[in-house]
A and B are shown apart, each in its own frame.
Chain A
Amino acid sequence: MTRTPRIPNLGGARAFILHRPHPTVQAITRQLSAIGLIALDCWPELPPEALAADFVFFDADLGFDEQFPWKAGEAPMPLVALIGSEAPGRIEWALSHKADAQLLKPVGTAGVYSALLIARQSFEARKHLAGEIASLRQRVAERQTIVRAVAALSKGSDDERAYAQLRSLAMSWQISVEEAARRIVAMTDEEATGEEGGNDQSHRA
């Protein structure tokens, strides 16, 4: 039976509310404490401890870039935008910070729990995707290395057999094809420069 991911337990998580003193802050704090989070409010700046927060709620109406100790769009935790006036410029600014969820002001007796879950899930998904893109980019950049490794292994004869050999080496070393190619290229370079005799004989093809 396939299991859907479980609802995360938010007990003890820390949430900063970056908003001037206002009933909205009380409404959010009340909901956060009921859910089991520790709520801390601040204005106009996020204190240093905010860097270790699990969530940050920020005011989209009066907020500005300098409030955050990170570049726009690079927050290390899920962000929830608190939107009062739906002025397009303010929404655009909130978007530039890549808010993962939003709450409309005035905040009433509900909404925080779903905002937390949605923000967390979309932040994790974004982070996962960014990691995957970085790894794919790196692999694309290694194409040249693979070509060089195949050439070194084939010594000018059968490229297909050389590529198969590279893959089987990667498997036996339990590393990626790109990593194996880097090793082959490094060893070939060492041989070429007459520095053979290092400790890494085990990886010899």
Chain B
Amino acid sequence: MPRMPRPCGAGCGAFSFLGSCLKRRIEIGILYSRSGSYQLVSDACRIGAMRAIADINADRGSGIELVPVERDPQSNADRYATLCEDIFKTSSARHVVGCVTSWSRKETIPVLEKAGGMLWYACPYEGFEANEHVVYMHACPNQHLVPLMAHVVPRFGANSFLLGSNYIWGWEMNRVARDLIADAGGKVLGERYLRIGETDVSRLIGEIRATRPNFILNNLIGTSSYAFLAAYRDLGDEDPAFRPQTCPVISCNLTEGELPAIGETGRGHLSVGPYFAPRPAAFASSFEASAYASVQVMADVLSRDPEAGPAEFSKAFAERRFSTRLGPIAIDANTQHATLPVIIGRIADGFFEVVSREDEVAPDPYLSRYDPARTFGRPRLRVVS
């Protein structure tokens, strides 16, 4: 693999003078949407990345200065690849922190491969991918869906209703969930998808009311998710079988960043992630924390070797652990996924109260170490009629 050429961007010298330190200037791409239906998540990631850049630049002990090269795809999946290419063409950046949806990540990968670039992906995703040009810094299914289901099934039951926005995250998460529910001895009582941005959820609510699941797996994103939670709260007001203490809505991507949009309607429901903000909090959400950690790890390697390319990063992942604001982090060199804490949180008054926590869960993006018996205990007997 070629080492990444790291000359500085046009118009600046190879080094800048900051305070009394000579710092090597390194451009990095920032590819987050500043508008659109999942803007809250995107903004959280962007804030995390920008904060990390500012902190590293202010750190006199660090030998590098990061220069953000920013592009805004405006939540349009087709714009990610072209804007990523634009970053590579118009700057010296070879690292990009960005993408929220899996759709946009998959669109960007061919451009990364062509340019020898690397994407630092700070959002949870559905697994079953391990591209050499992506560093996966948020949770994959063995760090979100599997432990969340293992927590929920013994407490509420195994029969579920599956929801998703109509793209790869929802499809693949629900596919894994179908297998897990079958292993737990439960039934999938319904599986429904809404187009991204759709807020008419009346039919879903009607079907959930009719089928009476034990819990609902929510893979809706953005405004669809907020509309669903609001309507589900109304359903719970009418029928106590649909309150969080009897039939919770569980999510693998819901964080503090979206609580203002959800308001009271989310209270009592569950989510899972590598970080929930304590009070007072260093970061507002796991998206922010993970994007911050992405830049930290990248800067850590680049400050030791500003010319580091994919091979040097891979070597660093194999040999080192990184101290980040998410805690000490290892990155599996085989899959380039981070070892992360797994925390299950319940929505309280504007924050998540921690229900359970497991530290340093190694990534298993293809669920190749998944064991149904260990996850759900003894196989449950199904009533055969």
Query: Complex Cα distance A33/B130, Å?
Result: 10
A-chain residues with CB within 8 Å of residue B367 when the two chains form the complex: 9, 11
Whole-angstrom distance from the CB of B211 to the nearest CB of chain A? 11
A and B contact pairs by CB, cutoff 8 A, 10 listed: A1-B187, A1-B188, A6-B179, A10-B366, A11-B368, A30-B334, A35-B130, A109-B132, A109-B133, A113-B366
**For residues 156 through 192 of chain B, which have their beta carbon under 8 Å from a beta carbon of chain A?**
175, 178-179, 182, 187-188
B-chain residues with CB within 8 Å of residue A1 when the two chains form the complex: 187-188
Whole-angstrom distance from the CB of A14 to the nearest CB of chain B? 13
**Contact call B334/A33, Cβ cutoff below 8 A:** yes
- A3, A11, A34: which contacts B130 (Cβ < 8 A)? A34
Query: Complex Cα distance A90/B92, Å?
Result: 44
A6 to B, closest residue via Cβ? B179
**For residues 137 through 158 of chain A, which have their beta carbon under 8 Å from a beta carbon of chain B?**
none
Q: Is B103 part of the binding interface, using a Cβ–Cβ cutoff of 8 Å? A: no
Q: Is A192 part of the binding interface, using a Cβ–Cβ cutoff of 8 Å? A: no
Q: Is B378 part of the binding interface, using a Cβ–Cβ cutoff of 8 Å? A: no
Chain A: number of interface residues, binned into ranges: 10 to 19
B372 to A, closest residue via Cβ? A9
B-chain residues with CB within 8 Å of residue A113 when the two chains form the complex: 128, 366
A3-B182, A7-B175, A11-B370 known; A30+B364 contact, CB < 8 A: no
Query: Complex Cα distance A37/B366, Å?
Result: 10
The 4 closest A-B pairs by CB, nearest first: A36-B368, A11-B368, A34-B130, A6-B179
B180 to A, closest residue via Cβ? A6
Query: Complex Cα distance A1/B188, Å?
Result: 8
Query: Complex Cα distance A12/B370, Å?
Result: 11
Q: Is B73 part of the binding interface, using a Cβ–Cβ cutoff of 8 Å? A: no
Query: Complex Cα distance A30/B333, Å?
Result: 10
Whole-angstrom distance from the CB of A55 to the nearest CB of chain B? 14
**Contact call B179/A10, Cβ cutoff below 8 A:** no
**Contact call B370/A9, Cβ cutoff below 8 A:** yes
Whole-angstrom distance from the CB of B249 to the nearest CB of chain A? 21
- B113, B130, B178, B179: which contacts A31 (Cβ < 8 A)? B130
Q: Is B375 part of the binding interface, using a Cβ–Cβ cutoff of 8 Å? A: no
A10 to B, closest residue via Cβ? B368
**Contact call A36/B113, Cβ cutoff below 8 A:** no
Q: Is A47 part of the binding interface, using a Cβ–Cβ cutoff of 8 Å? A: no
Q: A3-B182, A10-B368 are in contact. List 8 more A-B contacts (CB 8 A).
A: A9-B367, A9-B370, A10-B366, A12-B368, A34-B334, A37-B368, A108-B113, A109-B132
Q: Is B345 part of the binding interface, using a Cβ–Cβ cutoff of 8 Å? A: no
A-chain residues with CB within 8 Å of residue B130 when the two chains form the complex: 31, 34-35
Q: Is B203 part of the binding interface, using a Cβ–Cβ cutoff of 8 Å? A: no
Whole-angstrom distance from the CB of B184 to the nearest CB of chain A? 13
B-chain residues with CB within 8 Å of residue A36 when the two chains form the complex: 364, 366, 368-369
**Contact call B366/A35, Cβ cutoff below 8 A:** yes
Contact pattern, A 181-193, Cβ under 8 Å of B = 1, otherwise 0? 0000000000000
Whole-angstrom distance from the CB of B114 to the nearest CB of chain A? 11
Q: Is A110 part of the binding interface, using a Cβ–Cβ cutoff of 8 Å? A: yes
B-chain residues with CB within 8 Å of residue A3 when the two chains form the complex: 178, 182
A11-B368, A36-B368 known; A109+B187 contact, CB < 8 A: no
Interface core residue of A34, A35, A109, A110 (most chain B CB under 10 Å): A34
Contact pattern, B 345-368, Cβ under 8 Å of A = 1, otherwise 0? 000000000000000000011111
Query: Complex Cα distance A109/B119, Å?
Result: 14
A-chain residues with CB within 8 Å of residue B175 when the two chains form the complex: 7
A-chain residues with CB within 8 Å of residue B133 when the two chains form the complex: 109
**Contact call B182/A6, Cβ cutoff below 8 A:** yes
Query: Complex Cα distance A35/B367, Å?
Result: 8
**Contact call A109/B131, Cβ cutoff below 8 A:** yes
Interface core residue of A10, A30, A36 (most chain B CB under 10 Å): A36
A-chain residues with CB within 8 Å of residue B178 when the two chains form the complex: 3, 6
Q: Is B335 part of the binding interface, using a Cβ–Cβ cutoff of 8 Å? A: yes
A-chain residues with CB within 8 Å of residue B132 when the two chains form the complex: 30, 109
**Contact call A110/B366, Cβ cutoff below 8 A:** no
B-chain residues with CB within 8 Å of residue A110 when the two chains form the complex: 131
Whole-angstrom distance from the CB of A38 to the nearest CB of chain B? 11
Query: Complex Cα distance A165/B369, Å?
Result: 54
**Contact call A11/B187, Cβ cutoff below 8 A:** no
Query: Complex Cα distance A37/B368, Å?
Result: 8
Interface core residue of B182, B187, B334, B370 (most chain A CB under 10 Å): B334
**For residues 109 through 129 of chain A, which have their beta carbon under 8 Å from a beta carbon of chain B?**
109-110, 113
A-chain residues with CB within 8 Å of residue B113 when the two chains form the complex: 108-109
B-chain residues with CB within 8 Å of residue A34 when the two chains form the complex: 130, 334-335, 365-366
